[in-house]
Amino acid sequence: MTIRIITLEREYGSGGGAIAEKVAARLGWKLWDQLLTEEIARRMDCDCRAVEEHEERRDPSYYRLLKAFMRGSFEGSLNVPRLKMVDTECVRQVVQQILPEIAEAGKCVIVGRGSAYYLGGRPDAFHVFIYAPFEARVRRLQSTGKGEKEAIELAETVDQDRAAFIKRYFNVDWPGRHRFHLMVNSGMGEDLAVEITLDAVARFAKLGN
């Protein structure tokens, strides 16, 4: 069995993005993290920041009501295209189009964006989930310059948004352990998490040969 795709889902603050970057570098594969956000923005003809605000999260209720109101009125139907309203649904639709293209190209590591769920049926994909103890995630977020209060709030709320997103679009209670080949505690250290991931991918590939 040839593994050509690695998806990496992660708890917020677990260092999943950094681990994915190291895995991609070790394999010489393309990393789709920030690059994926940029490609979504390019296809939607909008700013990356607008995309980032709606990746892997539900739109707030007030925004959904505003969008529904605007699209339900004649004036709103004229203004919506001109305002380029970016929401979770349109971002998700673009991601759904892009991910099969990325997967077909192969030799890629994809971070989040529902990739483990969209590509769950591909035999050439290996799915990894990175988690860490809550305190370790808070410390990691603080090391990036965030205050303790903000770090705690982010560690508590971002994953709630991701869980709501996965539940809405895939009807899975996030993360859905049965969707992953490997779950790694990054509290052991990024480098060890990278080694475990690469070893598991290599061993899994041999099982199919």
- For residue 201, the 8-state DSSP code is H
- Residue 150: give its domain's CATH number: 3.40.50.300
Residue 19 CB-half CA count within 13 A: 34
- Model confidence over 126-177: pLDDT tens digits? 999 999 999 999 999 999 899 999 999 999 888 988 888 888 889 999 999 9
Q: What is the mean pLDDT of residues 74-97?
A: 60
Domain encompassing residue 21: 5-207
| 65 contacts: CB under 8 Å, gap ≥ 6 | none
- Structural domains counted in the chain: 1
Q: Find, among 103, 95, 102, 109, the residue nearest to 54 by Cα.
A: 95
Distance CA 110, CA 166 (A): 16
Rounded to whole angstroms, the Cα distance separating 73 from 81 reads: 13
The span from the CA of 84 to the CA of 45, in Å, is: 8
Q: Are 56 and 114 in contact (CB under 8 A)?
A: yes
User: Is 0.85 surpassed by the pTM of this model?
Assistant: no
DSSP string, 41-76: HHHHTS-HHHHHTTTTSPPPHHHHHHHHHHHTSHHH
Q: pLDDT per residue over 175-201, tens digit each?
A: 999 999 999 999 999 999 999 999 999
